[in-house]
């Protein structure tokens, strides 16, 4: 089932999301729906707050990048209760976009490597260092779990440059190819 994606300005995108337990109702269906919603919107990552749920659940599918990055062939993952526990001093800038902020693409500076703790879809614990493109996508998605979107990470100047776009988004003034949840005016 395709779910509406919550746009910038929706209060749920500013909430710190909560951990869940294996008893969370209909978790498998929710994960399936999140993958379907993300694929339909042509995204590579989707966090539960973007579909209106303040829980620590993220799906990532990097298979679409596998022509350039063979290591991402069939790379489809579920991250439950994810937390970034350490980051490298080294940082890099990379362009980002977000299904909750359609039409905005900006370079964001983030740590190059991160140590993450999470549970997979079988509730098996993982604790690993991640780098490269995956580290980037994870940081973007896990930010959603902290109530942050990538425009919060822009310099004051770049934020100023996007001010009109952001305020239009927050008013629900946007054309979108996928189903969205707008702020009611």
Which of the residues are catalytic?
141
| Both structure tokens of 30 | 């929710």
Cβ at position 23, least distance to Ni ion in Å: 27
Cα 80 from Cα 20, distance rounded (Å): 8
Q: In the complex, which residue's CB is closest to Ni ion?
A: 98
Q: For the window 89-128, what string marks contact with Ni ion as x by the rule CB under 5 A?
A: ---------x------------------------------
Cα 184 from Cα 7, distance rounded (Å): 11
Cβ at position 140, least distance to Ni ion in Å: 6
- 166 sits near Ni ion (criterion: CB under 5 A): no
Query: 47: closest CA among 115, 148, 134, 183?
Result: 148
- 34 sits near Ni ion (criterion: CB under 5 A): no
Ranges assigned E (strand) in the chain: 5-6, 45-47, 57-61, 76-87, 91-96, 106-111, 113-119, 125-131, 180-181
Given a contact cutoff of 8 angstroms between Cβ atoms, the answer to whether 34 and 59 are in contact is yes
Size of the site for Ni ion (CB under 5 A): 1
Q: Which is nearer to Ni ion, 26 or 143 (CB)?
A: 143
Cβ at position 144, least distance to Ni ion in Å: 6
Residues at the interface with Ni ion (CB under 5 A): 98
């Amino acid at each position: 089932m395709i779910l509406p994606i919550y746009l910038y300005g929706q209060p749920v995108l500013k909430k710190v999301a909560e951990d869940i337990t294996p008893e969370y109702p209909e978790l498998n269906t929710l994960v399936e729906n999140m993958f379907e919603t993300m694929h339909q919107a042509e995204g590579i990552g989707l966090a539960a707050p973007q579909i209106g749920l303040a829980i620590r659940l993220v799906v990532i599918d990097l298979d679409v990048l596998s022509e350039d990055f063979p290591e991402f062939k069939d790379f489809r993952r579920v991250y439950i209760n994810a937390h970034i526990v350490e980051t490298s001093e080294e940082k890099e800038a990379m362009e980002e976009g977000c299904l909750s902020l359609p039409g905005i693409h900006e370079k964001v500076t983030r740590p190059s490597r991160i140590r993450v703790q999470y549970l997979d879809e079988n509730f098996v614990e993982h604790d690993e260092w991640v780098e490269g493109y995956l580290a980037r996508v994870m940081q973007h998605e896990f930010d959603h779990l902290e109530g942050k979107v990538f425009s919060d990470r822009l310099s004051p100047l770049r934020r100023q440059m996007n001010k009109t776009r952001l305020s239009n988004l927050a008013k629900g003034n946007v054309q979108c190819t996928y189903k969205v949840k707008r702020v009611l005016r």
